[in-house]
Amino acid sequence: MRQAGRYLPEYRKVRETSSFLELCRSPELAVEVSLQPFRRFAPDGVIFFSDILVPAQAMGVRVEFGEGGPELPEPVRSSVDVERLRRFDPTREIAFTGEILAALRREVGGRAAVLGFAAAPWTLASYLVEGGGSKSFVIIKQMMGRDQPTLKRLLDLLADVTADVLSFQIECGAQAVQLFDTWAGELAQEDYRAWALPAAARVIARIRRRGAPVILYVNGCAHLIGSMAESGADVLSIDWRLPLSEARQRAPRLALQGNLDPGALMGTPEEVARRTRSLVEETGGRAHIVNLGHGVLPQTPIECVESFFEAARRAVSREPARLSAENP
Ligand code: CP3
């Protein structure tokens, strides 16, 4: 969940001399910023530094990163626009992502798992159609209501591109991959099941035989968790609005990831530790990747991130022992 970023002074330092997209495209710099949180916190997983919009650029879309997040000045709004998008060969167009992953595997050795990621088709389509972030998603919802063949073609294409991208990441060293369907929580359950879920499931089915576990994240997933469990993912990554104990009841067969509110890290380190311990108590530390419920906020005090890691490490080392004593 956005391990690297502006909450780290060493990241801000690298960003003084390079733009965000330069960072993404330079293996040397991307490896350096991927390793910054690993050096500080020694997490069990290291996500490679990139962005969900890097593949969009390779499809031929103009992408810019301004102060307010990503901007796509030529959005995809019609069937003609969709026809212009390219399915591309990752080994040619985004070879740098493979170099970053391979170098990270070498640097991290066996000390942590290296994770790849991509946007799920619905979330990538949201950026392409809206032309950037959105509050209401009114343009893609208009397409969903009035031009279904175009949206279907777009999602199918994005599912194939995303499967190509994730397959390439796994070949280059990603040991697990996370599919970010950040904006699918904006959909009613009926629409999630009609549009976002089948597209994410198509990606997962296409990469399944490569053997890397797949983690599916949806922000605002409380109404969708039962449907997400049908995606084929191995792990469901949960935002903070849904208690993990309830997620476990509604998706009992899958591992869970999450779900501390990133906003809780704005409080005191003691409170962060208490909240982190209670997350682990909710799952008993079983089939649970302790994480935040979304990305670290740029304003986050570092001592609170440290407190999260320390509390998580202590809690998971205690829970399994307690459990096995209770249930031999
Ligand atoms: O090191 C890591 O943890 C990998 C980092 C990572 C980034 N983007 C780097 C980034 C990951 C996993 C992403 C995925 C991503 N990008 C998502 C899905 C995950 C999520 O958070 O829901 C989304 C929706 C995006 C699109 C995106 N990229 C947005 C909305 C923004 C602006 C966010 C902000 O805080 O300004 C970005 C830019 C971005 N991607 C930054 C980073 C570190 C900030 C760039 C900077 O100013 O230096």
Cα(53) to ligand 1 centroid in Å equals: 9
Pocket test for ligand 1, best of 2, 71, 137 (most atoms within 8 A of CB): 2
Q: What is the pLDDT of residues 8-55, one digit of tens each?
A: 999 999 999 999 999 999 999 999 999 999 999 999 999 999 999 999
Confidence band, pLDDT 50/70/90 cuts, at residue 325: very low
User: Do residues 117 and 162 make contact, with C-beta atoms less than 8 angstroms apart?
Assistant: no
Q: What is the pLDDT of residues 120-169, one digit of tens each?
A: 999 999 999 999 999 999 999 999 999 999 999 999 999 999 999 999 99
Q: Residue range 263-285: average pLDDT?
A: 97
- What's the CA gap between 92 and 164, in Å, rounded? 12
- Residues enclosing ligand 1, CB less than 6 A? 2-6, 15, 20, 34, 47, 49, 51-52, 65, 69-70, 117, 133, 180, 182, 219, 294-295, 298
User: Do residues 133 and 123 make contact, with C-beta atoms less than 8 angstroms apart?
Assistant: no
- Residue 127 structure tokens: 């950026």
Confidence band, pLDDT 50/70/90 cuts, at residue 220: very high
How would you classify the pairing of strands 45-47 and 64-66? unpaired
Cα(253) to ligand 1 centroid in Å equals: 30
Residue 212 has pLDDT above 70, yes or no: yes
State the pTM of this model: 0.96
Q: Helices H, strands E: what count in the chain?
A: 16, 9
Per the residue annotation, which of 7, 77, 105, 127 is the catalytic one? 127
- Residue 62 structure tokens: 């103009």
Residue 323, strand partner residues: none
Residue 311 has pLDDT above 90, yes or no: yes
At 318 the pLDDT is 78
Mean pLDDT of the chain: 96
Is 192 a residue of the active site? no
User: Do residues 214 and 235 make contact, with C-beta atoms less than 8 angstroms apart?
Assistant: yes
